[in-house]
């Protein structure tokens, strides 16, 4: 049975952060150590990011928000609101993004209406509320009240893969199933001024975004490129438990993103890919670059550099990941879905088979643990 990613859509908050402007704000905060000030300059400038989106309209330099909670443009000062304050904003701002992305995915899936959705899987690690986003999506889209609902919370940057894997399993169990997967991450809610290198790195990398997909094994019209979900694997690297983490503090969630993470990925990426590619011996025996498309979660520029070099990939094969990083930053779990969407909608000049039997996609994401999630897909051209 073939399970297919029938539609994939994204949504972002309207407020855009310009990397150089955000850098200057963070660099000007009182209380930074001299080393902290230098790290702000280095981390922001080396991130390979031009812009990011945020649900916090007050973070822009021209904000005229009364009683600001995060940033006062009049003084240039960043505040440190409580975790409760940040989470209350998450509940308010994430809900419309969940609904918007989900509605766009549903609208883009030919032959499917709200009445057809049987399962909803929502994903986020940047906030909590209950009744949760799964409930809000059902109500917001007018889905059946009997839809099965699941929420994957606090897993981090790799969580889109367990969500898609669960969706595929639901479809394998019930060939008539239609699964709506929605990821929303508002990472910017957790920014703060600090001289801590991990906190600075998080402030330089993370942005806000949403992505939603329709997954089904039904025979449906295909007016645009789709992707079959061929295989999934997950691996815990033997080291790295303390190198990447996501903790709850009194003033927001606290990112741990050690500088050694790219080295861990460099040492263990081949072993992490082996179980996935081993599902197809021909792929396992071929050079990695023979797989046309690589949808890599852009956790940071150095991570992409390591993946490209270690696997012998071409610059063109990393174009989708680098393009999303440059325009959106790291949006945690939603990011790899943005990369997949880019691949489905574009041809970046990578040599390889076109149309016909389809173009293979290898996708990877990294998260706390250190966890490496991988997926093998096939891009299928629109039906004539």
Mean pLDDT along residues 329-340: 98
How much is the pLDDT for 357? 52
For the segment 12-23, what is each residue's pLDDT rounded down to a tens digit?
A: 999 999 999 999
- Give the burial string for 207-230 (b: 16+ CB within 10 Å, else e): bbbbbbbbbbbeebebebbbbbbb
Structure token digits, residue 288: 């990695």
What is the Cα–Cα distance from 222 to 383, expressed in whole angstroms? 5
Catalytic residues: 157
Q: What does the mean pLDDT of the chain come to?
A: 94
pLDDT tens digits, one per residue of 57-96? 998 888 778 889 999 988 899 999 999 999 999 999 999 9
Of 227, 241, 188, residue with least CA distance to 340: 227
Going along the chain from its start, the domains and CATH numbers come out as 226-380 (3.40.47.10)
Q: Which of 234, 171, 173, 182 is nearest to 4 (CA)?
A: 171
Q: Give the model's pLDDT for residue 82.
A: 97
């Amino acid at each position: 049975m073939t399970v297919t990613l029938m539609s994939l859509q994204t949504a972002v908050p309207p407020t855009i952060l310009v990397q150089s402007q955000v850098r200057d704000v963070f660099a000007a905060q009182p209380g930074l150590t001299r080393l902290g000030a230098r790290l702000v300059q280095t981390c922001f400038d080396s991130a390979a990011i031009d812009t990011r989106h945020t649900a916090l309209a007050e973070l822009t330099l021209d904000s005229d928000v009364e009683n600001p909670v995060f940033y006062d443009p009049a003084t240039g000062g960043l505040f440190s609101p409580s975790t409760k304050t940040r989470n209350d904003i998450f509940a308010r701002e994430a809900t419309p993004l969940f609904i918007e992305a989900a509605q766009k995915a549903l609208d883009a899936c030919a032959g499917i209406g709200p009445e057809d959705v049987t399962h909803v899987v929502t994903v986020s690690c940047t906030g909590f509320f209950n009744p949760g986003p799964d409930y809000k999506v059902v109500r917001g889209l007018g889905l059946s009240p009997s839809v099965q609902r699941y929420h994957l919370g606090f897993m981090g940057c790799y969580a889109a893969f367990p969500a898609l894997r669960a969706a595929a399993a639901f479809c394998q169990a019930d060939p008539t199933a239609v699964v709506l997967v929605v990821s929303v991450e508002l990472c910017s809610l957790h920014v703060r001024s600090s001289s801590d290198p991990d906190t600075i790195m998080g402030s330089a990398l993370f942005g806000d975004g949403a992505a939603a997909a329709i997954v089904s094994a039904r025979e449906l019209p295909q007016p645009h490129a789709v992707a079959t979900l061929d295989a999934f694997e997950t691996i815990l690297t033997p080291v790295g438990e303390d190198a990447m983490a996501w903790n709850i503090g009194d003033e927001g969630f606290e990112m741990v993103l050690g500088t050694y993470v790219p080295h861990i990925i460099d040492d263990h990426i081949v072993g992490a890919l082996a179980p996935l590619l081993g599902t197809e011996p021909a792929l396992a025996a071929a050079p990695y670059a023979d797989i046309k498309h690589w949808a890599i979660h852009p956790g940071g520029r150095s991570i992409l550099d390591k993946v490209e070099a270690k696997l012998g990939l071409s610059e063109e094969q990393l174009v989708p990941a680098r393009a999303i990083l440059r325009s959106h930053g790291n949006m945690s779990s939603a990011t790899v879905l943005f990369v997949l969407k880019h691949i489905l909608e574009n041809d970046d000049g990578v040599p390889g088979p076109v149309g016909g039997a389809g173009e293979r996609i290898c996708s990877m994401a990294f998260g706390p643990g250190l966890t490496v999630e991988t997926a093998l897909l096939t891009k299928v051209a629109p039906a004539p």
